[in-house]
């Protein structure tokens, strides 16, 4: 008899397919004119697969006059921008969150956009208008921050920073630096920077660091990090913090928690058999590369079904065809026949979506809840034949399910800009699936990646329950099935820091299963988990946006959902589809700035009028304490402050040292905060404050 092994591993995880790239200072999008990128600095701080990324870019105006520019950034899927600021003439400005959709227009001498720029920016770029003009030969520094959940599979985690910038600029950059600091509740078995030669690495099992630094080199390769955490460590890990600032945003309480359920990935934990149908659009708009990618994706799925699965393929244009009349067992004969069938896909005709579901859903009449019953639906267009009204199609699907007493999950993929997003969203959300919208070039990659995630179902119909009513607004809602080698993120709020029993339940092989554990909710502000409010807000915004897409956008209900998205976005500082960065306000003296007015791209501020020598800190990275050392020339006796800031520019600690005149000095930081608590692992900056000048450097703390 098949069996399922629980416990679960409960960990923070992620979902995203691309990571940050270098931004572009666009002057003319038609002709492809951009200000020069002088330097790029990327700092990634990862707490159990939640990445906090700060990317800082310095640009120079090489043109003969003052210019206005628009900053464009290829935002990754699954990442949410949390801040943007820029510096000109030694002054920092902070972009404001605005309750307005992003202005996606680009400056240009014509109506078209250069194809290289379009390809580089990808499907979901972030745009921001720089208010001030940039003088000839002047520098501007732009810094953008975001939070991202990194993709996880069978203990492996990937982070990619698209740094292949040569389609935008062939000129070498003065400096490129990449710092990646990782902390994990499960043992870090391996950490590699696969794309570049690292300048330093460190791994003690709980924390790890990898760095790279380049000078006078082209940005011609993506940064690619891969790390592995121990897949056999199946414990109960949860994360929570109290954030008093939330009290001014909503009345849900000031507590935030997050955990992830991961089934045992070993061979001892067998997957539930699937009954699987792939529906492929082969209408005329799929011609060219799209139908080739669709054939490749379908062939990949057929080649990677499991023994015990049953499957079928439905394809449609004006007419609807089916590989077999019913689902057939997955074996060598049926596999080869299906591959031959897929090779015959040709793009022509109209788009009969209702007919495709009219063929596919009745084939599930023979199934029951002991199997994972799944439809994956792929289209690049709106319905043009058969039922064409979205409400009629949705009603048709509901009636088919009722008539044939079946409840397959429906996952929908919309390719390109011409799909009916509301229809695909409702098809997925009303049938416990997910919806994704893809660029034409992403079709094969994204669908094969998706299938790999759902290939091995373990728990179906997952539900969650809490023993006390202190918990509120848990996302995602509804919960997805659990799949071997994958993790399910759960994030919510609480108003009382008491132990709460959590029960995850569902079915496996037709039998009920459940697992319970105690969630110990934090009663204080945990510095290491300050990302939790933004992760919760991000998941809530995604949940609300799917609701919005399923509504008439002119209805009162849609307006109310949109307003809730806007308020969540503004309240928690997470960009949404209905908010954007607009304008900016001048910041006070910036503690985290180490560019000194962007006149140098070195790590340290260069102030030649002072006589000093930076001696760095040792050890670096450090665990217990580090010595910050410097040498001073002519200076009067005084007390010198050494300020420690985290990667977001927040003051962590102030140290003092009495200097008696010229000579070498040092001060010890014990890795603690102003309150005396141990600071979390991560990247920190120190500034030595002398009279009206400062100089500083960078520290890595690993626990």
Instruction: Please indicate whether residue 143 or residue 530 has the higher confidence score (pLDDT).
Output: 143
For residue 477, being part of any structural domain is answered with no
Residue 394: is its pLDDT beyond 60? Answer: yes
User: What pLDDT sits at residue 645?
Assistant: 81
Give the Å distances, CA to CA, from 6 to 3, 10, 238, 288, 506: 10, 11, 17, 46, 12
Residue ending a domain, choose from 455, 481, 510:
455
- Average pLDDT for residues 669-681, to the nearest whole number? 85
- Average pLDDT for residues 653-662, to the nearest whole number? 80
Give the Å distances, CA to CA, from 199 to 193, 595, 671: 10, 21, 24
Helix H or strand E segment including 696: strand 693-701
DSSP-derived 3-state class of residue 290: helix
Q: Which of 172-186, 383-397, 447-461, 624-638 has the lowest mean pLDDT?
A: 624-638
Which segments within 273-318 are labelled E, that is strand?
274-281, 310-316
For residue 297, being part of any structural domain is answered with yes
Task: Quote the crossing angle between the two packed helices 289-303 and 443-454, to the nearest 10°.
Answer: 20
Q: Which CATH number covers residue 288? A: 3.40.50.410
Give the pLDDT band of residue 269 (cuts 50, 70, 90). Answer: low
Instruction: Please indicate whether residue 623 or residue 281 has the higher confidence score (pLDDT).
Output: 281
Q: Which two tokens stand for residue 620?
A: 């670096």
Give the pLDDT band of residue 75 (cuts 50, 70, 90). Answer: confident
User: What pLDDT sits at residue 235?
Assistant: 54
For residue 210, being part of any structural domain is answered with no
User: What pLDDT sits at residue 364?
Assistant: 96
Output helix, strand, coil percentages for the chain, rounded to the nearest 5. 20, 40, 40
For residue 504, being part of any structural domain is answered with no
Q: Report d(CA 528, CA 517) in Å as an integer.
A: 23
Give the pLDDT band of residue 682 (cuts 50, 70, 90). Answer: confident
- Average pLDDT for residues 552-556, to the nearest whole number? 91
**Model confidence pLDDT, tens digit, residues 469-495:** 999 999 988 888 888 777 788 999 999
List the one residue out of 405, 359, 415, 355 whose CA is nearest residue 384.
Answer: 355
Residue 307: is its pLDDT beyond 70? Answer: yes
Give the pLDDT band of residue 228 (cuts 50, 70, 90). Answer: very high
- β-strand pairing of 651-659 with 200-203: unpaired
Residue ending a domain, choose from 455, 489, 517:
455
Q: Which CATH number covers residue 638? A: 2.60.40.4070
Give the pLDDT band of residue 388 (cuts 50, 70, 90). Answer: very high
Residue 261: is its pLDDT beyond 90? Answer: no
For residue 515, being part of any structural domain is answered with no
| Residue 228, C-beta contacts closer than 8 angstroms, at least 6 positions apart | 155, 156, 157, 188, 189, 190, 191
DSSP state of 571: H
Instruction: Please indicate whether residue 95 or residue 660 has the higher confidence score (pLDDT).
Output: 95
User: What pLDDT sits at residue 660?
Assistant: 72
**Model confidence pLDDT, tens digit, residues 3-46:** 333 333 333 233 333 334 588 999 999 999 999 999 999 999 88
User: What pLDDT sits at residue 612?
Assistant: 64
Give the pLDDT band of residue 175 (cuts 50, 70, 90). Answer: very high
DSSP-derived 3-state class of residue 399: helix
Q: Which of 59-63, 140-144, 392-396, 649-653 has the lowest mean pLDDT?
A: 649-653
Instruction: Please indicate whether residue 12 or residue 667 has the higher confidence score (pLDDT).
Output: 667
For residue 191, being part of any structural domain is answered with no
Q: What percent of the chain has pLDDT over 70?
A: 89
- Total number of domains in the chain: 2
User: What pLDDT sits at residue 313?
Assistant: 98
User: What pLDDT sits at residue 620?
Assistant: 80
Helix H or strand E segment including 538: helix 532-549
Residue 671 structural domain: 612-701
Residue 592: is its pLDDT beyond 60? Answer: no
Which segments within 562-601 are labelled E, that is strand?
580-586
User: What pLDDT sits at residue 12?
Assistant: 28
For residue 147, being part of any structural domain is answered with no
Angle at 226 between CA 223 and CA 229, to 5 degrees: 155
User: What pLDDT sits at residue 457?
Assistant: 84
- Average pLDDT for residues 331-341, to the nearest whole number? 97
For residue 407, being part of any structural domain is answered with yes
Q: Which of 53-57, 148-152, 233-237, 527-531 has the lowest mean pLDDT?
A: 233-237
DSSP-derived 3-state class of residue 456: coil
Q: Report d(CA 388, CA 382) in Å as an integer.
A: 8
User: What pLDDT sits at residue 309?
Assistant: 95
Residue ending a domain, choose from 419, 440, 455:
455
User: What pLDDT sits at residue 691?
Assistant: 57
Residue 136 in contact with residue 66, Cβ under 8 Å? yes
- Average pLDDT for residues 498-518, to the nearest whole number? 85
Q: Which of 145-154, 376-385, 459-468 has the lowest mean pLDDT?
A: 145-154
Q: What's the predicted TM-score (pTM) here?
A: 0.71
List the one residue out of 399, 514, 521, 525 whose CA is nearest residue 460.
Answer: 514
User: What pLDDT sits at residue 552?
Assistant: 87
Looking at every residue in the chain, the average pLDDT score rounds to 85
């Amino acid at each position: 008899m098949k069996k399922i092994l629980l416990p679960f591993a409960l960990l923070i995880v992620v979902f995203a397919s691309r990571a940050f790239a270098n931004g572009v200072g666009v002057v003319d999008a038609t002709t492809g004119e951009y200000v020069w990128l002088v330097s790029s600095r990327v700092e990634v701080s990862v707490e159990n697969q939640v990445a906090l990324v700060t990317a800082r870019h310095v640009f120079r105006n090489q043109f003969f006059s003052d210019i206005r520019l628009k900053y464009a950034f290829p935002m990754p899927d699954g990442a949410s921008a949390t801040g943007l600021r820029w510096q000109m003439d030694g002054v920092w400005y902070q972009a404001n969150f605005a309750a307005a959709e992003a202005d996606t227009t680009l400056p240009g001498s014509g109506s078209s956009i250069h194809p290289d720029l379009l390809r580089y920016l990808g499907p979901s770029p972030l745009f921001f208008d720089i208010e001030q003009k940039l003088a000839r030969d002047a520098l501007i520094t732009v810094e953008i921050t975001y939070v991202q959940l990194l993709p996880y599979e069978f203990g492996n985690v990937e982070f990619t920073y698209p740094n292949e910038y040569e389609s935008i600029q062939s000129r070498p950059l003065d400096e490129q630096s990449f710092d990646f600091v990782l902390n994990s509740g499960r043992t870090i078995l391996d950490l590699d920077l696969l794309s570049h030669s690292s300048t330093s690495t460190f791994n003690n099992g709980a924390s790890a660091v990898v760095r790279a630094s380049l000078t006078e080199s082209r940005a011609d390769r993506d940064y690619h990090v891969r790390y592995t955490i121990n897949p056999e460590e199946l414990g109960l890990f949860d994360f929570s913090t109290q954030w008093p600032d939330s009290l001014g945003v909503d009345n849900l309480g000031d507590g935030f928690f997050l955990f992830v359920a991961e089934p045992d990935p070993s061979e001892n934990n067998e997957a539930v058999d699937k009954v699987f149908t792939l529906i492929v659009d082969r209408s005329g708009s799929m011609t060219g590369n799209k139908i080739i990618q669709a054939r490749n994706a379908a062939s990949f799925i057929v080649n990677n079904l499991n023994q015990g699965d049953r499957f079928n393929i439905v394809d449609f244009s004006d007419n609807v065809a089916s590989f077999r009349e019913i689902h057939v067992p997955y074996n060598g004969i049926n596999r080869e026949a299906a591959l031959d069938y897929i090779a015959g896909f040709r793009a022509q005709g109209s788009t009969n979506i209702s007919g495709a579901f009219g063929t596919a859903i009745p084939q599930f009449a023979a199934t029951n809840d002991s199997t994972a019953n799944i439809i994956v639906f792929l289209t690049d267009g709106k319905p043009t034949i058969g039922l064409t009204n979205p409400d009629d199609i949705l009603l048709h699907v509901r009636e088919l399910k009722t008539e044939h007493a079946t409840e397959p999950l429906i996952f929908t993929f919309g390719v390109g800009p011409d799909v009916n997003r509301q229809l695909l969203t409702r098809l997925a959300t009303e049938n416990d699936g997910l919806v994704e919208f893809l660029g034409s070039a992403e079709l094969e990659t994204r669908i094969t990646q998706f299938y790999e995630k759902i290939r091995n179902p373990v728990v179906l119909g997952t539900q969650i329950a809490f023993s006390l009513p202190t918990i509120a607004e848990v996302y995602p809602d509804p919960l997805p099935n659990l799949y071997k080698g994958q993790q399910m993120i759960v994030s919510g709020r609480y108003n009382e820091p008491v132990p709460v029993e959590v029960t995850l339940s569902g079915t496996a092989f037709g039998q009920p299963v459940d697992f319970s554990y105690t969630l110990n909710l934090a009663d204080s502000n945990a510095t290491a988990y300050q990302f939790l409010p933004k992760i919760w807000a991000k998941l809530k915004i995604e949940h609300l946006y799917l609701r919005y897409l399923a509504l008439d956008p002119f209805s009162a209900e849609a307006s109310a959902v949109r307003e809730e998205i806007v308020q969540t976005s503004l309240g928690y500082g997470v960009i949404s589809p209905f908010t954007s960065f607009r304008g900016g306000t001048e910041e006070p003296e910036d503690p985290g700035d180490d560019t000194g007015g962007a006149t140098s791209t070195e790590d340290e501020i260069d102030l030649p009028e002072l006589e000093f020598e930076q001696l760095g800190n040792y050890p670096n990275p450090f665990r217990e304490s580090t010595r910050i050392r410097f040498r001073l020339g002519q200076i009067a006796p005084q007390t010198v402050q050494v300020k420690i800031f985290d990667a977001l520019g927040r003051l962590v600690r102030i140290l003092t040292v009495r200097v008696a005149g010229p000579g070498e000095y040092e001060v010890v930081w014990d890795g603690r905060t102003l309150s005396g608590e141990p600071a979390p692992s991560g990247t920190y900056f120190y500034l030595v404050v002398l009279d009206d000048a400062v100089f500083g450097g960078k520290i890595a703390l690993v626990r």
